[in-house]
A and B are shown apart, each in its own frame.
Chain A
Amino acid sequence: KAGVTQTPRYLIKTRGQQVTLSCSPISGHRSVSWYQQTPGQGLQFLFEYFSETQRNKGNFPGRFSGRQFSNSRSEMNVSTLELGDSALYLCASSSDRVSGANVLTFGAGSRLTVL
């Protein structure tokens, strides 16, 4: 069974640019969550999608957006990049069977560097 796949693994952008990251969940998992991880802030929740709808949202500015497709694949976009957006962006999927348990399977992450 294939795991969660994130692309690209590494990317370098400059301030003001935008970036799109992709996530393919485990087959059969319909919930996809995104996190930003930095050394100072740890894992910060960005948003969660289920059946193409954003169901939960963290405390990030509107420059951070996402979407989910009918095959459960998800993308997140960051516009007008800032230096502080440099981070490891992690995607995780879950089977969404038990509310409250929500065991997550993570991808390897996309390492974004903003210069």
Chain B
Amino acid sequence: SQKIEQNSEALNIQEGKTATLTCNYTNYSPAYLQWYRQDPGRGPVFLLLIRENEKEKRKERLKVTFDTTLKQSLFHITASQPADSATYLCALVDGGFKTIFGAGTRLFVKA
């Protein structure tokens, strides 16, 4: 069956450290993979998109990798700050315009 799996347990890290979140998928062949941020009670906000032929993508303190052989994407936040505390969702498009999301990983950055 098709699955998108993210760390179900919350990730707790100290301010200034690098947070690394994992997204694994099964039985999909996405041309793109996306990452979103969601704060409590609000809709997700798009952060980054990476194409299947890109190994790595960066935006300010964010870095995403995409390994189509491992069927995995890693999302890194460097020099993390308490304001980075949120739920991070990975997503891929299944056949056109149907975007499927993982369950998300909650990140807590402690000052």
A residues apposed to B, CB below 8 Å:
4, 31, 33, 35, 41-43, 45, 48, 50, 55-56, 58, 88, 90, 92, 94, 96, 99-109, 111
Contacts and interface: CB of A to CB of B under 8 A. Distances in A.
A98 B31 CA distance: 11
B98 A106 contact: no
B44 A31 contact: no
A107 B43 contact: yes
A31 B97 contact: yes
Contact of B100 (A41, A45, A96, A105): A45
Contacts of B102: 42
Contacts, number: 74
Contacts of B97: 31, 33, 48, 50, 55-56, 94, 96, 99, 102
Residue in A55, A88, A100 whose Cβ sees the most chain B Cβ within 10 Å:
A100
Interface of B: 30-32, 34, 36, 41-46, 49, 89, 91, 93, 95-104
B46 A103 contact: yes
B42 A104 contact: no
A27 B32 CA distance: 24
Contacts of A42: 89, 101-104
